[in-house]
Amino acid sequence: MRSYAFDIAHLLAGGMVVLSFLLLYQTRITAVLNVFALQSIVLSLSVAWQALIQDAPHLLITAAIALVLKGFVIPAALHRIVQKLGIHREIEQVYGGGPTMLLGLGLVALSILLVLPSGQNVSLLVREDLAFALSVLLLGLLMMITRRNAVTQIVGFMALENGLVLAASGAKGMPLVVEFSVAFSILVAFIVFGVFVFRIRERFDTVDVSNIDRFRGGRGN
């Protein structure tokens, strides 16, 4: 069982989980964007490796989409947005860094425990891939919850989508159409987000979403 193919797949998928934690930990906006770009690049490497060991050439297209779109285009666009908003030097207040990390650890443990008993007839590689993909997904959700800045919330959403692609690459026989439509919807979502960030900024003079709570009747700060 202990083979080279498995070790490299483990390394890449594990690396994605680690980078998700780095996203949670990081408070500087430009650094968050760079970590996200790195995670997308690792994702594309992981998918490409899956394509090699599964002998499924269509996964290479998925890898290419992940690399170009999420490794370079979206981070560059986010960098532009951050520059235009003038928040590129901002250090974000994260709700309790320590508890968030512990919560993240709990989520990873949860996803491992969830995938562990699922079907003994699935191969080791697929199950491990699923466990890691689920934890990347949940960590992306956690990041969306804990962040206040609209831009880093977008990054959380994108990281969540990275987890989805990782999960899909492990499962055999995902049609290419699905992958294309997911990539396309991500792009559309990104454009919508981009427009929204500027609208929020125009309306409320900030992209800190906790300020918006005030208008809903919350406490705000």
Partner 1 sequence: MALIVDLIGQGVQMLLVVALAPLMLGITRKVKAHVLRRIGPPVWQPYLDIWKLLHKEMVLAHNASWIYRTAPYVIFGVTWVAAALVPTYASNLMFSWSADLIVIVALLAAGRFALALAGMDVGTAFGGIGSSREIMIASLAEPAMLLVVFTVALIAGTTQLSTIAENFIGGEVGLRVSLGLALVAFICVAIAENARIPIDNPATHLELTMVHEAMVLEYSGRHLAMIEMAAAVKLVLYFSLLACLFFPFGMATADKSPEALAIGGLSYLGKLAVLAILLPIGETAVAKMRVFRYPVFLGGAFVAGALAVFLLFVSRSL
Residues near partner 1 (CB under 8 A)? 2, 4, 6-8, 10-11, 14-15, 17-18, 21, 25, 97-98, 101-102, 104-105, 108-109, 112, 115-116, 124, 127-128, 131-132
With H, G, I as helix, E, B as strand and everything else as coil, classify residue 28: strand
Closest CA to 159 of 85, 66, 50, 95: 66
Residue closer to partner 1 by CB (options 9, 63) is 9
Least CB distance from residue 11 to partner 1, whole Å? 5
Residue closer to partner 1 by CB (options 4, 177) is 4
Question: DSSP for 132-187?
Answer: HHHHHHHHHHHHHHH--BHHHHHHHHHHHHHHHHHHHHHSTT--HHHHHHHHHHHH
Residue closer to partner 1 by CB (options 21, 190) is 21
Least CB distance from residue 73 to partner 1, whole Å? 28
Residue closer to partner 1 by CB (options 109, 195) is 109
Mention every residue, 6+ apart, whose C-beta is less than 8 A from residue 188. Answer: none
Mention every residue, 6+ apart, whose C-beta is less than 8 A from residue 86. Answer: none
Query: In angstroms, rounded to a whole number, what is the distance separating the alpha carbons of residues 24 and 21?
Result: 5
Strand runs labelled E in the chain: none
Least CB distance from residue 14 to partner 1, whole Å? 4
Query: In angstroms, rounded to a whole number, what is the distance separating the alpha carbons of residues 16 and 157?
Result: 15
Least CB distance from residue 153 to partner 1, whole Å? 21
DSSP-derived secondary structure letter, 122: S
| Terminal CA-CA length for the chain | 55
Residue closer to partner 1 by CB (options 97, 220) is 97
Query: In angstroms, rounded to a whole number, what is the distance separating the alpha carbons of residues 100 and 24?
Result: 8
Residue closer to partner 1 by CB (options 64, 112) is 112
Least CB distance from residue 77 to partner 1, whole Å? 29
Residue closer to partner 1 by CB (options 20, 200) is 20
Least CB distance from residue 15 to partner 1, whole Å? 6
Least CB distance from residue 62 to partner 1, whole Å? 22
